[in-house]
Amino acid sequence: MEVYRFVSQENVAGKTVVMRAGIDTNVVSGKIVPGARLCEQAKSIKLLAEKKAKIVVIAHQGREGKVDFISLEQHRDFLEKETGLKIGFAKWSENYSEKIAALREGEVLLMENVRFNKDETEEKSAVEHSQSAWVKAIALGADLFVQNAFSVCHRSHASVVGFTPLLSSFVGPLLEKELSALDKIGGFEKNRLLVLGGAKPKDSLKMLSAMLENGKMDSAIVGGLFGNILTEASGKRLGKSTEFLKQKRFYELVEPAKKILSDFEGKILLPVDFAADDNGNRKNVSIEELPSELEIFDIGDRTIGLFKEKIAKAELIVFNGPMGVYEKEAFQNGTREVLGAIAESDAFSLLGGGDTETALGITGIDKEKFSHISLAGKALLYKFLGKELPGLIGVEE
């Protein structure tokens, strides 16, 4: 088990702290829609400020060429309101070293979108990235580096790995919470249930195979697009939804899914019925009625009941991805009922996946009822798969 250095155990008063934060969020018509990542990172910034650190925040938003690839000035405005702190802002074209040197205890400086630097996203080693001019310039005026963005730890980008060869490096408050939750998962030895859905079946397939094979999970229930693929792999033909899988090139996952069903026979609970779209209305279609001319958008009522029974017996639940097209009101039942059952269970529950936060908002389930909701996305998947995360290497003891 990895042992990390936590900034929570350090005296940071008077020290200049470079913190890699994950404050990227949805952008609609050029305006940010603050999400959980942004709100949670604000708490970490405030915590370090209260400990009298001088904080330089480095973060990104979007990718070059995408509509959400914008300046972080709106993020700065939101962080000011959320923390109650005056937060400075520095563009890469100005003398940011001077602004860093001028910081006083408890003050914060947010750097402009780090991906505006062309070399940020180049896949290089930590040592190679540490030689970047802007990395060296910031490190020269700093005392330590804090990794607080689990969501980018799977990337060997300059702001993620470049500071660790130059500065004493630590895990930040939010990342500490994420790692603590993952540690707790390892303490369970039985009744461990994986709940998989969502619209990224390739990732789900890897996760299902790895977590059953390495013994981290005892059984799984599957829904959503992923559940449809496994149903096809079991020998059933969905009908109209089969054509959708072929159009989107998801059908190529059916063959590897067959092997998983064979390798872990009896450990994977598939849907026994589905909710299909009948002119905008929800219609239950049993497994016996397949193939269907209606398109499948959710798990059915009988399946919901079976999944809830399975959830009630679990001691550990890892949830990754909704059970259907929850954006449509008629097809929210599967996701709402499954998440509701997890919320009311006595199990330790860890929720992940990019759509999970949105699904919780739409279904109205109290987030506090879950043990931990991860903000990591693909980095969490990589951690589950046992892959080495570049962003965590430099913060280990």
For residue range 347-388, list pLDDT tens digits in order. Answer: 999 998 767 888 888 888 999 999 999 988 788 888 888 889
pLDDT at 284 over 60: yes
| Residue 189 within a domain | yes
Nearest C-alpha neighbor of 224 from the set 189, 196, 261, 262: 196
224: confidence class by pLDDT, cuts 50, 70, 90 = very high
Give the ranges where 297-389 is alpha helix by DSSP (H): 301-312, 333-344, 356-363, 378-384
143 and 236 both lie in a single domain = no
Q: How much is the mean pLDDT over the chain? A: 95
Band (pLDDT 50/70/90 cuts) for residue 199 is: confident
Predicted local confidence at residue 192, as pLDDT:
97
Last residue of a domain, one of 154, 175, 196: 175
Residue 329: phi and psi, rounded to 5, are -55, -40
pLDDT score, position 227: 96
- For residue 70, what pLDDT is reported? 98
**Per-residue model confidence (pLDDT) at position 225:** 95
Q: Does residue 390 fall inside a structural domain?
A: no
In a domain, 332, yes or no: yes
What's the pLDDT score for residue 160?
Answer: 98
Percent of residues, the chain, with pLDDT higher than 90: 88
Q: How much is the average pLDDT of 316-320?
A: 95
Asked whether residue 2 is domain-assigned, the answer is: no
Residue 109 shares a structural domain with residue 147: yes
Q: Is-contact 350 317, C-beta < 8 A?
A: yes
> What domain count does the chain have?
2
Both tokens of residue 234? 């079991």
What is the number of other CB atoms lying within 10 angstroms of the CB of residue 318?
Answer: 26
Structural domain contains residue 397 = no
Q: Are residues 365 and 347 part of one domain?
A: yes
- pLDDT > 60? residue 265: yes
pLDDT for residue 186: 85
Task: Check whether residue 272 and residue 296 sit in a common domain.
Answer: yes
User: Would you say residue 394 lies in a domain?
Assistant: no
Average pLDDT score over residue span 310-328: 95
Confidence of residue 180 (pLDDT cuts 50, 70, 90): very high
The CATH code of the domain that includes 28 is 3.40.50.1260
Domain span including residue 238:
184-384
Q: Classify 311 in phi/psi space as left (phi over 0), alpha (psi -120 to 50) or beta.
A: alpha
Same domain, 227 and 81: no
167/38 same-domain check? yes
pLDDT, one tens digit per residue, over 286-304 is 999 999 999 999 999 999 9
Domain end residue (candidates: 143, 175, 207): 175
The band of 1, judged by pLDDT with boundaries at 50, 70 and 90, is low
Residue 396 falls inside a structural domain:
no
What pLDDT does 361 receive? 86
> What local confidence, expressed as pLDDT, does residue 383 receive?
86
CB 135 within 8 A of CB 56: no
- Quick check: is 195 in a domain? yes
- Taking only the tens place, the pLDDT of each residue in 45-59 is 999 999 999 999 999
Dump pLDDT digits (tens) for 26-41.
999 999 999 889 999 9
Q: Name every residue whose Cβ is closer than 8 Å to that of residue 268 and which is 6 or more positions away in sequence.
A: 208, 212, 219, 220, 221, 222, 230, 260, 261
Which residue type occupies 334?
G
